[in-house]
Amino acid sequence: MNHITHEDVRCLIIGSGPAGYTAAIYAARANLNPVLYEGIQPGGQLTTTTEVENFPGYPEGVTGVELMEDLKKQALRFGADIRMGIATASDFSASPYKVTIDGEKVISAETVIICTGATAKYLGLPDEHKYAGMGVSACATCDGFFYRKKRVAVVGGGDTACEEALYLASLATQVYLIVRKSFLRASKVMQERVFATPNITVLFEHNTLGLFGEHGVEGARLVKRKGEPDEEEVEIAIDGFFLAIGHTPNSDIFKEWLETDEVGYIQTIPGSPRTNIPGVFAAGDVADPVYRQAITAAATGCQAAIEVDRYLLEHGK
pTM of the predicted model over 0.85: no
Selected catalytic residue, list 11, 115, 127, 139: 139
Selected catalytic residue, list 11, 115, 127, 143: 143
Sequence-separated (6 or more) residues with CB below 8 Å from residue 79: 28, 33
- Looking at residue 72, its pLDDT comes to 97
- Looking at residue 2, its pLDDT comes to 60
Residue 143 annotated as catalytic? yes
- Looking at residue 1, its pLDDT comes to 52
Selected catalytic residue, list 11, 142, 162, 302: 142
Exposed e or buried b for every residue in 92-109, given b needs 16+ CB within 10 A?
Answer: beebbbbbbbeeebbbeb
Answer yes or no: CATH 1.10.10.10 is held by domain 5-119+247-314. Answer: no
Per-residue pLDDT for the chain (317 aa), expressed as one digit of tens each?
568 899 999 999 999 999 999 999 999 999 999 999 999 888 888 887 768 888 999 999 999 999 999 999 999 999 999 999 999 999 999 999 999 999 999 999 999 999 999 998 999 999 999 998 899 999 888 889 999 999 999 999 998 899 999 999 999 999 999 999 999 999 999 999 999 999 999 999 999 999 999 999 999 999 999 999 999 999 999 999 999 998 899 999 999 999 999 999 999 999 999 999 999 999 999 999 988 899 999 999 999 999 999 999 999 88
For residue 112, the cross-strand partners are 12, 280
Distances (CA, A) of 97 to 11, 25, 194, 278, 280: 10, 22, 47, 10, 8
| Alpha-carbon span 116 to 85, nearest angstrom | 12
CATH 3.50.50.60 in the chain, residue ranges = 5-119+247-314, 122-243
- Looking at residue 201, its pLDDT comes to 98
- Looking at residue 51, its pLDDT comes to 81
- Looking at residue 135, its pLDDT comes to 95
Please measure the distance between the N-terminal and C-terminal CA atoms of the chain and give it in whole angstroms: 34
Distances (CA, A) of 297 to 42, 83, 136, 303: 15, 20, 23, 10
| Alpha-carbon span 212 to 298, nearest angstrom | 36
Closest CA to 236 of 275, 191, 284, 178: 178
CA atoms within 13 A on the CB side of 37: 22
For residue 30, the cross-strand partners are none
| Alpha-carbon span 301 to 236, nearest angstrom | 42
The CATH number assigned to the domain with range 122-243 reads 3.50.50.60
